[in-house]
């Protein structure tokens, strides 16, 4: 997917620029061609029927997409190489692998003289097998590390001792914590591959059906990254609600506001959104006495950036600015762009839903797929940035392993810090206490 445009443009040859190759006649005609023709706009394929595309790509006795058969074979290998690198899971079953071997065997016969194509195919096959093995091992490791199901009962029954370690006891510098969050983000997002992102489309299309184990396997990297966002939000809420003294809670809120601001400056929008979401959870948001002591000007600016109105227009403007900075960057620090992943997923999904796969004339809507490819290519470029910040194992260990309260436990801690103020809160608090007594 990242190099699809390169593959197609080279594979289809100079005809992509509107010029017919020798011996090709008028195949793949222009915008004024018949309904079966391929239509190009500014050198880019925008629509065409599947039959016309296959006819354009498949050689016959009197027609080759390239003047020389050997050159054509090399392009077949290039296409297969890009395919196996970007979507190795397409070849995980025996049938697909057998078809790949059959194709490469026929291509190899066209290059028996110098063996260049044969060597390229051998290297491609070895890389594919290594990639499949590595991802299988990674998935097995993640399965072993998968956290057990959280008990619906409260994690908290009494207020924790004041001496219990919190995030400020591990790291009191907002910039350093933002850098360590960026480390975790880039580490987690690097396990996402183009094929995982394409699964968004097929996975969302099947939401009406019961999800099978195969679907879970193919989207596990996405779920793992999405779970990290939720865990960070809950960690922020836990760190605030577990503090006994109002003065210390105020300090904790202001600390996380500063961390979120540093994340924004770095270009780590996903952690920034997770922190804001954590502070907006009801158990935290209802602490009015605590919030009254917080200098909220910085928080208001952050919420403005993440204002959901006009389809998150403010966030998208900031993301565009970070993207432009990344493209012109002279250092690794300036290259960092970590978008809000949930919004990125929604963009891909709605792009798929709004635009049809086929145009009214029956042509494949390549313009839609070019745009999906562009967005995924851009995302994959961001995931390949090497984190320039020094890794702090102690801080990262805390962020990844610190106890996180359930939603019920958060409310208990919140009500113990600041009692219920209205009838709805009083009813909720009464229900929680009754639940606790029954369990005891």
Which 3 state secondary structure label does DSSP give 29? coil
Q: What are phi and psi of 172, to 5 degrees?
A: -110, 5
Measuring CA to CA, how many Å separate 110 from each of 21, 72, 103, 310?
21, 10, 12, 56
Can you tell me whether residue 403 is helix, strand or coil? coil
Each residue's pLDDT tens digit, 302-317: 999 999 999 999 999 9
Distance CA 394, CA 401 (A): 11
Least reliable range by pLDDT among 136-140, 232-236, 338-342, 378-382: 136-140
Q: Cβ neighbours of residue 404 under 8 Å, at least 6 residues apart? A: 155, 231, 234, 235, 238
Confidence grade of residue 23 (pLDDT, cut at 50, 70, 90): very low
Who wins on pLDDT, 439 or 81? 81
Q: Are 257 and 251 in contact (CB under 8 A)?
A: no
The strand pairing partners of 365, in sequence order, are: 47
* Residues composing the chain: 440
Question: What three-state secondary structure class fits 55?
Answer: helix
Residue 364 forms beta bridges with which residues?
48, 358
pLDDT at position 140 is 62
Mean pLDDT (whole number) for 342-367 = 88
Q: How far is CA 29 from the centre of its chain?
A: 38
Within 13 Å, how many C-alpha atoms sit on residue 16's CB side? 18
Q: What pTM, to 2 d.p., does this model score?
A: 0.76
- What homologous superfamily does CATH list for 168-402? Ras guanine-nucleotide exchange factors catalytic domain (1.10.840.10)
Closest CA to 395 of 168, 180, 174: 180
Task: Delimit the domains of the chain by residue range.
Answer: 49-141, 168-402, 406-439
* More confident of the two residues 74 and 69: 74
**Listed ranges 96-100, 252-256, 294-298, 397-401; the one with the highest mean pLDDT:** 252-256
**Residue that is written with structure tokens 């910039």 in the block:** 175
Q: Which residue did the predictor score with more confidence, 118 or 176? A: 176
pLDDT the model gives residue 357: 86
What is the per-residue pLDDT across 193-214, written as a single tens digit (0 to 9) for each? 888 888 777 766 665 454 444 4
pLDDT digit string, tens, across residues 232-266: 999 999 999 999 899 999 999 999 999 999 999 99
């Amino acid at each position: 997917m990242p190099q699809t445009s390169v593959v197609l443009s080279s594979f289809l040859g100079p005809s992509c620029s509107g010029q017919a190759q020798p011996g090709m006649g008028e195949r793949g005609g222009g915008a004024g061609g018949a309904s079966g023709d391929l239509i190009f706009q500014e050198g880019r394929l925008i629509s065409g029927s599947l039959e016309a595309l296959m006819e354009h790509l498949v050689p016959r006795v009197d027609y080759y997409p390239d003047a020389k058969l050997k050159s054509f074979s090399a392009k077949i290998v290039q296409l297969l190489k890009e395919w196996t690198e970007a979507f190795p899971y397409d070849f995980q079953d025996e049938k697909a692998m057998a078809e790949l071997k059959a194709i490469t065997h026929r291509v190899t016969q066209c290059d028996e003289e110098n063996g260049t194509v044969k060597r390229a195919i051998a290297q491609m096959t070895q890389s594919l097998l290594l990639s499949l093995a590595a991802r299988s091992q990674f998935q097995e490791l993640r399965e072993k590390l998968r956290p057990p199901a959280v008990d619906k009962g409260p994690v908290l029954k009494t207020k924790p001792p004041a001496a219990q370690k919190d995030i400020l006891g591990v790291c009191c510098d907002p910039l350093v914590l933002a850098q360590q969050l960026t480390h975790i983000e880039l580490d987690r997002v690097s396990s996402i591959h183009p094929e995982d992102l394409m699964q968004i489309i097929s996975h969302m299309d099947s939401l009406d059906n019961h999800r099978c184990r195969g679907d879970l396997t193919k989207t596990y990297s996405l779920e793992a990254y999405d779970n990290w966002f939720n865990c960070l939000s809950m960690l922020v809420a836990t760190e605030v609600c577990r503090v006994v003294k109002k003065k210390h809670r105020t300090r904790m809120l202001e600390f996380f506001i500063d961390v979120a601001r540093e994340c924004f400056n770095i270009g780590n929008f996903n952690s920034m959104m997770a922190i804001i979401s954590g502070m907006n959870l009801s158990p935290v948001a209802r602490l009015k006495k605590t919030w009254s002591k917080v200098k909220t000007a910085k928080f208001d600016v952050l919420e403005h950036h993440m204002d959901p109105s006009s389809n998150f227009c403010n966030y998208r403007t900031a993301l565009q600015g970070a993207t432009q900075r990344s493209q012109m960057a002279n250092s690794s620090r300036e290259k960092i762009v970590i978008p809000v992943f949930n919004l990125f997923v929604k963009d891909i999904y709605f792009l798929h839903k709004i635009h049809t796969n086929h145009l009214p004339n029956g042509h494949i809507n390549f313009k839609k797929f070019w745009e999906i490819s562009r967005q995924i290519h851009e995302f994959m470029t961001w995931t390949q940035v090497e984190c320039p910040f020094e890794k702090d194992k102690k801080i990262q260990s805390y962020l990844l392993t610190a106890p996180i309260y359930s939603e019920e436990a958060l409310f208990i801690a919140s009500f113990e810090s600041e009692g219920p103020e209205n009838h709805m809160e009083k009813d909720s608090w009464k229900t929680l206490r009754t639940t606790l007594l029954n369990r005891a």
